[in-house]
């Protein structure tokens, strides 16, 4: 072996040793940025690395790629006492019996930011009762396929939740009110294509400051907004009229209204402007400009 080759090998070994000598917290943070399948393979590097991945603070499981057996095995070795974020994505019908177990596992690790992406599911999924009781949730993102129903049959207790995003849900006024009652310090609420909503009443959400709503002709709701405490509003891809009953604290608004006639847009807009006179920054989407051009 040449002297140059030996020198290169020594440099590589020194670099590997330098990385391996880093604290577990730093190594685990690094592993969060690579796919979980790759992160797990680092356990083969040496005895030092065998269990490092088992306590990574963020876990993302794409069950559209991973098998159910692989997900189960991964979670059986996962030992982090506290999980910063947990993302689960699946669309396979045969995985339905496993989903609740996977969610329960995330909750057992005191997950703070939970993301459930079932957007491509073609089968109904009922959110389990145990899901509605968590003191660890800080941020929650749920994506369901049109139109899975969310109807809490138990008391909702997400007392430390600050951000909530619901997409593709069939959600009645009563169901959303029940959810919001269990979120006393909620600050951000996003509703994307949530059907059956008619009157979005946020009067009891005293901490809520930011509201984002995305809707279209197939998902018209809500048609009335009662949100006296919000400071920021984004109303996107709205094709139907929406009445601002009370948005008296609003200081920032973005209105993206599309696919309507200029006359209808002007009438609807004038009614909206009457209710947002305290707004300091008002932005109109590109669709608004196209209509008037």
Written as tens digits, the pLDDT of the chain (293 aa) is: 555 555 455 555 555 567 788 888 999 899 999 889 899 988 888 888 889 999 999 999 998 888 999 999 999 999 999 999 999 998 887 888 899 999 999 999 999 999 999 875 556 678 899 999 999 999 999 998 765 778 888 999 999 999 999 998 888 999 999 999 999 999 999 999 888 889 999 999 999 999 999 887 666 667 899 999 999 999 887 666 788 999 999 999 998 876 566 676 677 777 888 888 889 999 887 666 665 55
Q: Is 44 in the same domain as 135?
A: no
pLDDT of residue 259: 59
177 close to 205: Cβ distance less than 8 angstroms = no
Among candidate residues 34, 56, 78, the one where a domain is terminated: 56
Q: Is 253 in the same domain as 152?
A: yes
pLDDT of residue 11: 57
The answer to the question of residue 139 being in a domain is yes
> Closest Cα partner for 179 from 203, 204, 157, 149?
157
The answer to the question of residue 61 being in a domain is no
Q: Is 174 in the same domain as 269?
A: yes
Q: What is the pTM of this model?
A: 0.87
At 131 the three-state DSSP class reads: helix
Tell me the CATH number at 177: 3.80.10
pLDDT of residue 170: 84
> Closest Cα partner for 81 from 112, 115, 47, 102?
112
The answer to the question of residue 205 being in a domain is yes
> Closest Cα partner for 102 from 141, 124, 130?
130
Beta-carbon contacts of residue 26 (< 8 Å; ≥ 6 apart): none
Q: Is 33 in the same domain as 176?
A: no
Among candidate residues 31, 56, 81, the one where a domain is terminated: 56
- Give the structural domain span for 156: 126-292
Bridge partners of 170, per DSSP, are 149, 195
The answer to the question of residue 94 being in a domain is no
The answer to the question of residue 66 being in a domain is no
Q: Is 134 in the same domain as 238?
A: yes
Q: Is 285 in the same domain as 179?
A: yes
The answer to the question of residue 82 being in a domain is no
The answer to the question of residue 91 being in a domain is no
Q: Is 30 in the same domain as 136?
A: no
Among candidate residues 12, 39, 56, the one where a domain is terminated: 56
The answer to the question of residue 89 being in a domain is no
Helices and strands (H, E) in the chain, number of each type: 8, 13
Give the total number of structural domains in the chain: 2
DSSP E strands, 185-265 = 188-192, 199-201, 210-214, 224-226, 232-238, 243-246, 252-257
Q: Is 50 in the same domain as 133?
A: no
Q: How many CB atoms lie within 10 A of CB 44?
A: 8
């Amino acid at each position: 072996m040449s002297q140059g080759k030996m020198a290169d090998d020594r440099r590589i070994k020194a670099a590997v040793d330098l990385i391996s000598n880093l604290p577990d917290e730093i190594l685990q943070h690094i592993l969060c940025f690579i796919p979980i399948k790759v992160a797990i393979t680092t356990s083969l590097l040496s005895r030092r690395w065998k269990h490092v991945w088992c306590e990574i603070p963020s876990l993302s499981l794409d069950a559209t790629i991973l098998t159910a057996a692989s997900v189960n095995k991964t979670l059986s070795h996962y030992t982090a006492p506290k999980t910063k974020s947990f993302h689960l994505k699946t669309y396979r019908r045969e995985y339905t019996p496993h989903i609740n177990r996977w969610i329960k596992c995330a909750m057992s690790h005191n997950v703070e930011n939970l993301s459930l992406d079932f957007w491509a599911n073609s089968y109904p999924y009922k959110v389990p009762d145990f899901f509605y009781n968590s003191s660890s949730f800080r941020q929650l993102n749920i994506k369901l396929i049109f139109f899975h129903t969310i109807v809490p049959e138990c008391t909702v207790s997400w007392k430390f939740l600050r951000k909530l995003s619901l997409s593709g849900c069939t959600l009645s006024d009563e169901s959303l009110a029940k959810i919001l009652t269990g979120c006393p310090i909620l600050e951000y609420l996003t509703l994307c294509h949530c059907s059956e909503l008619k009157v979005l009443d946020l009067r009891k959400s005293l901490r809520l400051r930011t509201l984002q709503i995305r809707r279209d002709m197939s998902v018209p709701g809500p048609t009335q907004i009662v949100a006296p405490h919000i400071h920021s509003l984004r109303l996107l891809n709205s094709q139907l009229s929406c009445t601002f009953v009370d948005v008296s604290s609003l200081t920032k608004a973005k209105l993206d209204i599309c696919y309507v006639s200029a006359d209808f847009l002007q009438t609807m807009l004038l009614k909206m402007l009457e209710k947002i006179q305290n707004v300091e920054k008002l932005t109109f989407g590109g669709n608004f400009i196209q209509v008037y051009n």
